[in-house]
A and B are shown apart, each in its own frame.
Chain A
Amino acid sequence: MTSSLLLSATTFIYGLAGFIYVFAWVFRKTSSGRLATWVAIVGWAANTAGMAFRWVESYQMGFGHAPLSNLYESLIFFAWTIIVIYLYIEWRYGNRVIGAFSAPLAFLAMAYASLSPNISDKIQPLIPALKSNWLIAHVITCFIGYGAFAVACGVSAMYLLKSGRDAEEGGLIGRFPPTPVLDELTHQLVMFGFLFLSAGIITGAVWANSAWGRYWGWDPKETWSLITWFIYAALLHARMMRGWRGRRIAYLNLMGFAAVLFTYFGVNLLPGLHSYQSMQ
């Protein structure tokens, strides 16, 4: 299968890109930084092609559907959005140190998808509840949001490392962007992620209403996505209306991303409608 080959390659290339980003940051090599960017772009192209081939292959198997239907496929799309969002930031801010905190996240998502024994990489036909165009809208919006939150989490981690050491020139931390830039970037990413999280919850609600006749049922996945939404809503209000900056926002942001991770992975351990995600 071409797609599995491409996606295995993607895992490896993202790992390599992450390694080169870290190398360029630690040894202050601009040329390796540029190389890291190109490796990330190649990885992203392989990721895109892998998803496209998987889509085609599902049609060849006789039950074609977009490759956004189970945990494996969502992780691959998650890695894809992380890299897109990171590359955009690199282009906008011209700083590659953030790559050392973003590309490894994409690698982890891909590696988890490929290596976890609990995740099947088989292309499976859609069960009746998943046969809806809202599925595609729901998964895409959710994972664009999650991708933005993942990168924001990396940026907040950088903020916390650098906070209070702005005066330091050189050194590993000194090569981070200045803290106000990191703080502002976190804010931008959270706003972007929040917009897509809202859209993701909403498309999920519309889909649930067409499949089960209720737009909200307090099942654990729905509830956890709402918990995530509450945390980021609190963060945005604290920052925009109460003038919170810096460490407090960074900690709230890490809390928000922890909720994202639980919504994504933890909820499968709890009973509910979304448990089909863990089906083999």
Chain B
Amino acid sequence: MSVQTTSNGFLDAIWKLLASIRLTIVLLLSLAATSIIGTLIPQNSEPAAYVAAFGETVFRFFSVLGLFDMYHSWWFQILIVLLAANIIVCSADRISLQRNLLFVRKPRFQAGRFQNLPNRVEFEDERPAEVLRGLYESYLSRKARAVQADADDAGFSLFGETGRWTRFGVYTVHLSVVLLLIGGLIGSIFGFDGFATVPEGETVQQVTLRNSGERLRLPFAIRCDDFEVSFYETGAPKEFRSSLTLLEDGRPVAQKDIIVNDPLRYQGISIFQSSYGSLPAREAVLSFTSRSTGMVYTKDMKIGAEIAIPENLGTFVLTDIRHNAQFRGHPVGDAFIGRLTPPGGSPEEVVLPMRFPTFDRMRRGDVVIAVDQFKERHYTGLQVNKDPGVDVVYIGFILMIVGCYVTFFRSHQQVCIQASRRGSVTRVTVCGTANKNKAAMERRIQRLSAALKQLK
């Protein structure tokens, strides 16, 4: 028994804490204060850079606190989860307190509630109360809902209201925040965030995930048919455009030119233009100089093509392009790689650095091979994402704007018109109340009474 009581007491205390606005204010200001840290310390950089900037001790300390990826750190996540719990519990608590106010089809008005309101306008009308009642009731029925008319000895009371639904505005905002968090969670669990670089004319099926560096195989392949970049006269970039074709089992299933701000979406996966760069093309113009005769023979060659060099100097195959190639242990940059087979001899590898056209002379062979020309081609850098939570987030966005508008600028207003016969005139009192923006209510009462005076 006693155990249950304590646990109930404990749960009650938790519920009370989560239902407190004080906690909301503390959480909001804590989130504001702590969020600053991540804007001052660059996030997700290399550990070495942090050690250089802060020193070993501070680096360790900050690492433990997760300050290098602080928006995903355990304590920041706890703050967010607490805020979500706070929002949900507060809303549930208030909805249950206000249920008689929120879920009423036909509200009953009591004259007593309007007796001492400061917002009131009084005037006199010569017509009898019964006449006015007909006029006012039909007018109020057009302007307000739930109109209620009570007759008494000397006259009548009329009630009406508008905007009871606006009391849901604040819950709409709270729901929107919860939806944003749920959408974010869905995205981080079921989505991915990757990138791929695709040279023009080539196809990739895998992307590299940004957070883990792992490779992920897509359900389709991406072929880059073309990439173009254009510039303004000032030299600033004007447009990056990739012509992409998506292939499933080698068959094209989608085709689009993407530019920044206009991605390709297919099967829930979006492909964005993100960056670009250049690569040497897979063909080159090579020259073969015979050492004995001095004759120069020029050939257009593609990777994989084999030719017989004139003067019976052997056969040559252009086998590959190697980035940051090495020659006898020295870096020589990007290079074409070929295989030269002299007549009767064994094949040897030839390195043809693009930056040093006459490099092959150093080999002192019977034939000197040089790269005369090579074309460059572009590769496109693509951001490849899947985020199934986006729809939930966007619904949250819409609800937040609508909810904020309703919460701040629309109110639940109730009016009361009382009339009683005093001698030869009918005395009319118009008053009203609103759950917010009392100043607007005052103007509304004045407008209403002015309109009532005009009724014929």
A-side residues, CB < 8 A to B, are 63, 124-125, 127-129, 131-132, 184, 191-192, 194-195, 198-199, 202, 205-207, 209-216, 218, 220, 223-224, 226-227, 230-231, 233-234, 237-238, 241-242, 259, 267, 270-271
Contacts and interface: CB of A to CB of B under 8 A. Distances in A.
Contacts, number: 117
B272 A212 contact: yes
A230 B28 contact: yes
A273 to B, nearest CB: 12
Given A128-B239, A230-B32, A199 B39 contact: no
B15 to A, nearest CB: 17
B357 interface: no
Contact of B260 (A129, A192, A231, A270): A129
A213 B386 CA distance: 9
A202 B390 CA distance: 12
Nearest to B270: A213
Nearest to B43: A218
A209 B36 CA distance: 23
Contacts of A184: 439
The number of chain B residues touching the other chain, given as a range, is 35 or more
B38 A195 contact: no
Interface string B216-242: 000000000000000010101111100
- Interface of A: prevailing SS: helix
A195 B405 contact: yes
A89 B240 CA distance: 46
Contacts of B385: 213-214
Given A211-B260, A267-B39, A270-B39, A230 B394 contact: no
Contact of B31 (A129, A213, A230, A259): A230
Nearest to A222: B39
B263 A233 contact: no
Contact of B238 (A125, A227, A267): A125
Given A212-B383, A218-B38, A267-B39, A127 B32 contact: no
B397 A127 contact: no
B351 interface: no
Contacts of A227: 31-32, 35-36
Contacts of A270: 39-40
B123 interface: no
B232 A198 contact: no
B261 interface: yes
B21 interface: yes
A238 B25 contact: yes
Nearest to B389: A215
B22 interface: yes
A205 B260 CA distance: 15
B296 interface: no
Given A213-B263, A270-B39, 4 more contacts: A128-B239, A128-B260, A213-B274, A226-B35
Q: Ordered nearest first, which 9 A-B pairs have the shortest CB separation? A: A230-B32, A128-B260, A191-B408, A234-B28, A220-B39, A213-B385, A241-B21, A213-B272, A132-B261
B39 A223 contact: yes
A242 B261 contact: no
Contacts of B409: 191, 195
Interface in B238-266: 238-240, 259-263
A242 B260 contact: no
B306 interface: no
B35 A230 contact: yes
B415 interface: no
Contact of A125 (B35, B232, B274, B394): B232
B383 A199 contact: no
A231 B240 contact: no
A124 B235 CA distance: 11
Contacts of B401: 195, 198-199, 202
